[in-house]
A and B are shown apart, each in its own frame.
Chain A
């Protein structure tokens, strides 16, 4: 029997009040972004898959297909890479580019398609003498944006790509060991971490075993500083301390936070809310990405997952 009404699993229709709520959220966020000087961009829903491969997104997590010329295309799994690509083509200017967007993204999770609507911002180019100024602009905007959605109980949590990289370099881990440590840390699985570090020296093991527990307030940064002598790790902690000095208790930390996408170079952030099992917001600093398009520009941004926001709002209602 034909099923004329079916749609792919992992997608959904919105109508009635749900559709109204989704569009109201989108409009409210666009308002916040534009009031802060961010201009709206639109990019194609599908791009050459190279763009995402080079951005270190796992091909297994993308919907890919071949066009008539035999080129591999992918449905956008993320907004940051298309936004960076589009930005690199804009005329050179002295001021940083402030771009915002909203639209669907497509990912394969556990072998199943998952469509979600993201709204976010990218701040591309130097905002001042130090990166921290850009980080603060983005973090403040993240907090304002989440409040604007109607969430009143959320946590903005920061990590840093340089901290994990520094610890791994200091311990001299090879690619496979690093991946095992990353995977165990991501699950806060002390036992798997112990297995991954079985053959390591005592002091390396003692240091890396602390990774899953390094979350909480600013005291975490202090603990972390006493764990390592590595320059890159210390630079990461200093960056986070500078952010904490400005943002105070609006932010918390998890140094075991290792994001899904590989292009981050500095601060990473996620927004968490009760009821939403997955982050409502993700983002971070990606200073090497624009160079791939011939523009050496630092960059930082975030995306809000509107579907997760709707779940969190329903639970808190």
Chain B
């Protein structure tokens, strides 16, 4: 039996089509009213654990789940050892440094910056590589508020359409990386779990 860690919502909806094409029975995932957290396919070959998106890397890296679907943004922030095997293509967004346009020259270096973000690890790594000292202000949501109310100078966050930014007079100052949904696999499971390698290869072909 192959165990997947999936986050309810957008990423799972995107994965179902690809997983079905690759031969996984995703019927247990279709019942949206069910509150069951662990669901097994009728043929007993696939098991799904429903978790929070940020927890997917934790379940897969520890080996409790053999594989999972998670955004590259979440993966980079988790920094856990696992195989990041297939780019599933959906859930596309960009990880960016955003702020007021007049603050752009402050990213040239020198001085220090206050950075509000849900991604402290990514922010620290990005600015450290560029020799800019930062103070991270960890927030859980509505990060755009940081510069608006003077809590921070800039933010590090994912940008999809950029609508919220524009509505608040902010813009993308720098792009850190492109993100999209990934199929991640536990390093031991790939080699010891019957049928997992073949499944991964079929997903790569089906996307």
| A interface residue numbers (CB < 8 A to B) | 110, 153-155, 157, 186-192, 212, 215-216, 252, 254, 272-279, 311
- Residue pair A272, B85 in contact (C-beta under 8 Å): no
The docked-state distance in angstroms from the alpha carbon of A212 to that of B61 is 18
- Residue pair B191, A272 in contact (C-beta under 8 Å): yes
The smallest beta-carbon distance between B98 and chain A, in angstroms, is 22
Q: A154-B192, A186-B81 are in contact. List 7 more A-B contacts (CB 8 A).
A: A155-B191, A187-B82, A188-B83, A189-B83, A272-B188, A277-B62, A277-B64
The docked-state distance in angstroms from the alpha carbon of A157 to that of B124 is 36
**Residue in contact with B193 in the complex, picked from A187, A252, A274, CB distance below 8 Å:** A274
Q: What 0/1 pattern do residues 171 to 192 of B give for CB contact below 8 A with A?
A: 0000000000000011111111
Q: Which residues of A contact B64 (CB under 8 A)?
A: 277
Does B63 sit within 8 A of A, measured CB to CB? yes
- Residue pair B186, A273 in contact (C-beta under 8 Å): no
Q: Which residues of A contact B192 (CB under 8 A)?
A: 153-155, 272-274
**Residue in contact with B79 in the complex, picked from A110, A279, A311, CB distance below 8 Å:** A110
Interface size of B as a range: 20 to 34
Does B25 sit within 8 A of A, measured CB to CB? no
The docked-state distance in angstroms from the alpha carbon of A153 to that of B194 is 11
The docked-state distance in angstroms from the alpha carbon of A147 to that of B52 is 37
Q: Which residues of B contact A276 (CB under 8 A)?
A: 63, 188
Does B55 sit within 8 A of A, measured CB to CB? no
Count of inter-chain pairs, beta carbons less than 8 A: 60
Does B139 sit within 8 A of A, measured CB to CB? no
The docked-state distance in angstroms from the alpha carbon of A307 to that of B186 is 18
**Residue in contact with B191 in the complex, picked from A186, A192, A212, A215, CB distance below 8 Å:** A215
The docked-state distance in angstroms from the alpha carbon of A252 to that of B192 is 11
- Residue pair A277, B187 in contact (C-beta under 8 Å): yes
The docked-state distance in angstroms from the alpha carbon of A5 to that of B192 is 39
By Cβ-Cβ distance, the 10 closest A-B pairs, closest first, are: A277-B63, A189-B84, A272-B188, A188-B83, A277-B62, A187-B84, A274-B192, A191-B87, A155-B191, A272-B191
Q: Which residues of B contact A273 (CB under 8 A)?
A: 188, 192
Q: Which residues of A contact B86 (CB under 8 A)?
A: 190
Does B80 sit within 8 A of A, measured CB to CB? yes
The docked-state distance in angstroms from the alpha carbon of A155 to that of B80 is 22
- Residue pair A278, B63 in contact (C-beta under 8 Å): yes
Q: In the complex, which residues 53-68 of chain B have their Cβ closer than 8 Å to any Cβ of chain A?
A: 61-64
The docked-state distance in angstroms from the alpha carbon of A311 to that of B187 is 15
Most chain B CB neighbours (cut-off 10 Å) among A190, A254, A272, A279: A272
- Residue pair B188, A279 in contact (C-beta under 8 Å): yes
Closest to B66 in A: A274
Q: Which residues of B contact A190 (CB under 8 A)?
A: 85-87
The smallest beta-carbon distance between B82 and chain A, in angstroms, is 7
A277-B84 contact given A155-B191, A252-B191, CB 8 Å threshold: no
The smallest beta-carbon distance between A204 and chain B, in angstroms, is 22
The docked-state distance in angstroms from the alpha carbon of A278 to that of B186 is 9
Q: List 22 A-B contacts (CB under 8 A).
A: A153-B192, A154-B192, A187-B84, A188-B83, A188-B190, A190-B87, A191-B87, A252-B191, A272-B187, A272-B188, A273-B188, A273-B192, A274-B188, A276-B188, A277-B61, A277-B63, A277-B186, A277-B187, A277-B188, A278-B63, A278-B81, A311-B63
